[in-house]
Amino acid sequence: MTSHLPPRTLPDGLVASTEAPAVDEYVRLRTDSGLSPRSPEQAAPILTGSWAWQIVRDADGALVAMGRVIGDGGWYFHIADMATAPAQQGRGIGRVVLDLLIERIHAAAPPDPYITLIADPPGRRLYDATGFVDVAPSLGMRLAGR
In this predicted structure, the answer to whether residue 101 has a pLDDT above a threshold of 60 is yes
Domain boundaries, given as residue ranges, for the chain: 15-128
CATH code: domain 15-128 is 3.40.630.30
Task: Give the side-chain half-sphere CA count within 13 A for 89.
Answer: 14
Q: What is the mean pLDDT of residues 12-21?
A: 96
Question: What is d(CA 11, CA 26) in angstroms, rounded to the nearest whole number?
Answer: 21
Question: What is d(CA 146, CA 81) in angstroms, rounded to the nearest whole number?
Answer: 23
pTM for this entry? 0.90
Residue of 94, 104, 7 lying closest to 50 (CA atoms): 104
Residue of 41, 108, 106, 96 lying closest to 66 (CA atoms): 96
| pLDDT value for 22 | 97
| pLDDT value for 120 | 85
